[in-house]
Amino acid sequence: MSGIAGAFRLRTMARRDSASLVRRMLAVLAHRGPGRNAVFRSSDEKLIFGECCHGDPADAPMEGGAEAAVASNQADTIRAVLDGQFYNGRVLRHGLIFDGHRFRGEDDSELLVHCFEQHGMECLNHLNGRFAVALWDDRFDRLILARDRLGKKPLYFVIHEDLLLFASEIKALTAAVPFRRRIDPVAMQQYLAWGFIAPPLTMFQGVGKLGAGEALVIEPGGMLRRMAWWRPCRDSRKAARIRTLPAEQHRTNLRSLLDHSVADRVSDAVPLACLIGSTGAEVSIAVQAARMIGRPLEAICVHAHEADRPAPRSDSLPLTTIALRPQEVIDALPDLVRHLDEPVADLTAPFLWCGAQALRSNGIAAALTGDGADALIPDALSMHQPRRPGLLARLAGRWRQPEADDEAPGPFSSADLNLLIGPAVAGPARLAANTALSGGLLETPSWLGDGDAARATLALRGTLPEARLMRADKLAMAHGIELRAPFLDHQLVDYVLALRGVPGGGRLLAELFGDGSADSDAAAAMGRWLTGELGHCYEEVVARSRLFADGLLDRGGCLELLRRHHADGRQASRLWAVLMLAEWYDLFWVDNDDSGTAPTLPWPGHSVAAE
């Protein structure tokens, strides 16, 4: 567990106290790595970056030059900080030692440095794990920020005056520099339409984030270059060969890939458990992990407290059940919003929060989850994507009016938006102006076509990372818990995508991996609670929130949603989306006044000329 933060001076003659800003950011991120801080200061003070991680505080100085604890190569020309873990570290290390590299310790950050020294930017393709990294190459005066293939770890950045600041969480950036916290109207509409905000936007105007499998390279002279270093199913010839195999060979290959993925995630000595929802996929993962470690794996299941319903039971797992009550959801709202940084319209978030609390109280440091199963198994795509592949078109800048029989891609349809959005935000046509949003980074392989496989690819590149994985990482890390998702091994993902369109492929996946359907029990419980205690909380928030006083949403329209929910019980996701947005707006003291300046997100292409 760790968090990373840094400050890069874009103008060579500028002088800023970057070290104090980095200290401030690492202090905010302390929950991600309570123990020690390691910080590197370049000789010309152009870059200061560091990480907070587990360990003895005496092991690392707060800052320094060649003696800093930030991982480096022997010549100290390459430095790196890492949030996350590499699952194939042992294999990589042996290969690099064979090629003549000498290691000072066992740290994954040092492994990254040597891998970059050996392979350059291609090193990212050699890494298997969950990670966000910052890497400084002094030989070419180049800074590289990168996020793992499927976006399990977040990484944010902002340009403030002469500095590029980056950190694992937005709250670290907002604590470091006093930029105006202004809402981004396009991001707000994305959130209401889809339930998440697509990279590079965030809800804060001018604050950006890297997407899954993306890198940001800052070249000499202040030129920023955004690139996709990974796309799913890049090798179409390999996919074509997979599609020709018989069903029994698919069973063998898929079992082997999942076994290897689970083994990678249980191989260290960290106390491990399994976080169980209502999907058969998670039970399947827990059983496989228990078989590998030779003992039953502790499982924790958070369920809705219902007086007339028994707690879940399992004959195959030692299961601890925790009953969540609506008042506990209300009490947790401020913490949920603060740790998420920006609102996420996910009804299962309170259940994950409660599960992470239970893991921590039981002394567990890491947990396996079934995240990703519902994106891989065809029957459950509806949670992550619209029934028609409209997300890519929207990200490219088109707003499509839903047809009568079309499922809304997120909490709200465009008709809902017309009802809810206040006078301070432009209408849905505003989205059309954001033509640089996709940047080609969410392209699907041409051989996948426009059907089920294309939707799965978009789920893995868009909705899954932004709506589920970053949410899971932040809520779990708030309690010091690492979540590991065996279904999201990139080799397994590529194989499953290659099976799309193969007759019987969906049945085969469900047979091997279990039911990957969404956690509908949690969503149904939230729907019931919104007609009672949670609904009263919603009314109170709508009555007092500055979001409505500032004209961003229409108070009457939002109260009408609650009345609809009492009538049909089908507005839960919409109500939760509004509730999270209003709480976020008040908690982060967003200032929607047009006076003053806010940072500007540098897309497409950005250059800061040297003075």
Which of helix, strand or coil describes residue 84? strand
Average pLDDT of the residues in 407-415: 63
Length of the chain: 611
Q: CA 332: distance to chain centroid? A: 20
Whether the per-residue pLDDT at 578 is higher than 60: the answer is yes
**Using the 8-state DSSP alphabet, how is residue 467 labeled?**
I
Whether the per-residue pLDDT at 597 is higher than 70: the answer is no
Residue 159's CB is within 10 A of a number of other CB atoms, namely 22
pLDDT of residue 331: 96
As a whole number of angstroms, the distance between CA 245 and CA 571 comes to: 45
Whether the per-residue pLDDT at 177 is higher than 70: the answer is yes
Tokens matching residue 345: 């319209």
pLDDT band with cut points at 50, 70 and 90 for residue 502: confident
pLDDT of residue 246: 92
Inter-helix orientation angle 108-119/89-98, to 10°: 50
Residues paired with residue 322 on neighbouring β-strands, in sequence order: 302
As a whole number of angstroms, the distance between CA 142 and CA 234 comes to: 27
H/E run at residue 304: strand 299-304
Q: Which of 56-70, 186-200, 222-236 is predicted least confidently? A: 56-70
Q: Which of 268-277, 372-381, 483-492 is predicted least confidently? A: 372-381
pLDDT band with cut points at 50, 70 and 90 for residue 234: confident
pLDDT tens for 316-361 read: 678 888 999 999 999 999 999 999 999 988 899 999 999 999 999 9
Average pLDDT of the residues in 498-503: 79
- Range list of H helices, 384-519: 391-395, 414-420, 452-458, 470-477, 490-499, 505-513
As a whole number of angstroms, the distance between CA 238 and CA 406 comes to: 34
Which among 136, 225, 223, 248 has a CA at the least distance from the CA of 512? 248
For residue 604, cis peptide bond before it (omega within 30 degrees of 0): yes
Tokens matching residue 449: 């076509």
Q: Which of 265-269, 422-426, 490-494, 601-605 has the highest mean pLDDT?
A: 490-494
Residues paired with residue 484 on neighbouring β-strands, in sequence order: 368
**Using the 8-state DSSP alphabet, how is residue 475 labeled?**
H
As a whole number of angstroms, the distance between CA 188 and CA 522 comes to: 25
What one-letter code names the amino acid at 246?
P
pLDDT of residue 375: 72
For residue 428, cis peptide bond before it (omega within 30 degrees of 0): no
DSSP string covering 502-525: STTHHHHHHHHH------HHHHHH
As a whole number of angstroms, the distance between CA 479 and CA 477 comes to: 5
Q: CA angle, 172 as apex, 537 and 272 as ends, to 5°?
A: 75
Q: Which of 167-176, 221-230, 335-344 is predicted least confidently? A: 221-230
Phi, psi of 324 (to 5 degrees): -95, 135
pLDDT of residue 245: 93
Inter-helix orientation angle 349-361/326-340, to 10°: 90
Rg (CA), the chain: 23
User: Quick check: 206 and 186 in contact, CB under 8 A?
Assistant: no
CA distances (Å), 374 to each of 383, 385, 563, in order? 8, 11, 31
pLDDT tens for 123-152 read: 999 999 999 999 999 988 899 999 999 999
User: Quick check: 2 and 33 in contact, CB under 8 A?
Assistant: yes
As a whole number of angstroms, the distance between CA 226 and CA 186 comes to: 20
pTM, 2 dp? 0.87
Which among 521, 515, 446 has a CA at the least distance from the CA of 487? 515
As a whole number of angstroms, the distance between CA 53 and CA 1 comes to: 6
How big, in percent rounded to 5, are the helix, strand and coil portions of the chain? 45, 15, 40
Tokens matching residue 389: 């592949």
Q: Which residues contact 113 (CB under 8 A, 6 or more apart)?
A: 71, 72, 73, 78, 79, 80, 135
pLDDT tens for 442-494 read: 444 444 445 555 566 666 777 889 888 999 999 999 999 999 999 899 999 88
What one-letter code names the amino acid at 526?
M
HEC secondary structure over 140-190:
CCEEEEEECCCCCCCCEEEEECCEEEEECCHHHHHHHCCCCCCECHHHHHH
Q: How far apart are the first and last CA of the chain?
A: 39
pLDDT band with cut points at 50, 70 and 90 for residue 599: low
**Using the 8-state DSSP alphabet, how is residue 462 labeled?**
I
As a whole number of angstroms, the distance between CA 606 and CA 611 comes to: 16
